[in-house]
Amino acid sequence: MEVVNEFDPWGGELCTCPNKYSLNPYTGCGHRCIYCYATYIPNFFRPRRKKNLVERIERDLERIPSGSIISLSNSSDPYTPMDEEHQDTRNCLEAMKGYNLRILLVTKSDLVLRDMDLLRDLKSAVTLTITALKKEVHRKLEPNAPSPHKRLEAMRELEKEGIPTGLRLDPIFPELTGEESGEIIEKAEKAGVRHVVTSTFKPRKDGWNRFRKAFPDTAERVKPLYFQSGEKIGNSWYLPEKIRKRVVEKVKEECLERGIDFATCREGFSEMRTAGSCDGSHLIEE
């Protein structure tokens, strides 16, 4: 395979994703989210186009089994800012027409609305990430990403067109964004979302350093929770299990009250899931 690959979460024991394929139309991402885990890729915050992308995708698509899930994207946002000009993600979707595939788009951008005409004709669903509503917080967390209000409007427009949507309330930051989770879910429900997946902030070394610089007071308060009371799983630091469980249980309760599917991401609480999948792929028609 050249650009479409089997999704491999580094053998992570806590990953509950279904079998699927992964396609990143770009190398790197321009949203510059401080909590990004993919910065092991060199110059990640300087996204680059992939040479002969469509031709390479077309060769890969001939080898993918009918009915497979393809997720765009699992490291680089498919609607990174430069896609407004280059439209490589749209070209990818165009290439998938005529194949029996299930397409899951994962993004922080309302630019996805540009491609609604294609998504209507594909078996597709969209999940949009919202981590915070307060401007002074989300602008530091996700410096170049569209505002959460634009993402909520995108959810609303997608649902109007019959394209199922989900919310990634992910990640939740202790003592910074957790208090907004109820309001975010309420607004997402009004926009029509059918599924919520959530997780807590699990920093790697570089992500923690960016977080500490952006929110020094909060980082100082929660540092012992991660590096004294918490545990390291793989390359990420986790909050103590009791704290993580309390955070995600709050989100689950909010979802249950509203009749929204619920799941967690890499938390180890798969028994809490009420949805057909953790990633929202169950929203896509078979």
- Would you give per-residue pLDDT tens digits along the chain (286 residues)? 999 999 987 778 899 999 999 999 999 999 999 999 999 999 999 999 999 999 999 999 999 999 999 999 989 999 999 999 999 999 999 999 999 999 999 999 999 999 999 999 999 999 999 999 999 999 999 999 999 999 999 999 999 999 999 999 999 999 999 999 999 999 999 999 999 999 999 999 999 999 999 999 999 999 999 999 999 999 999 999 999 999 999 999 999 999 999 999 999 999 999 999 999 999 999 8
276 in Cβ contact with 17 (< 8 Å): no
111 in Cβ contact with 86 (< 8 Å): no
Distance CA 177, CA 130 (A): 11
Spatial neighbors of 256 by CB under 8 A, at least 6 apart, are 262, 274
Alpha-helical runs (H) found in 25-82 = 53-61
Instruction: Identify the pLDDT of residue 83.
Output: 98
71 in Cβ contact with 22 (< 8 Å): yes
188 in Cβ contact with 167 (< 8 Å): yes
248 in Cβ contact with 242 (< 8 Å): no
Name the residue type at position 178: G
- How buried is 149 (Cβ within 10 angstroms: 0-12 exposed, 13-18 middle, 19+ buried)? middle
Q: Which helix (H) or strand (E) holds 236?
A: strand 236-238
Instruction: Identify the pLDDT of residue 104.
Output: 98
Query: In the chain, how many domains are there?
Result: 1
Q: Which helix (H) or strand (E) holds 128?
A: strand 123-129
CA distances for 209 relative to 68, 130, 203, angstroms? 38, 22, 9
Name the residue type at position 103: I
Distance CA 132, CA 6 (A): 31
Q: CATH no. for residue 173?
A: 3.80.30.30
Residue-range definition of the domain harbouring residue 164? 4-283
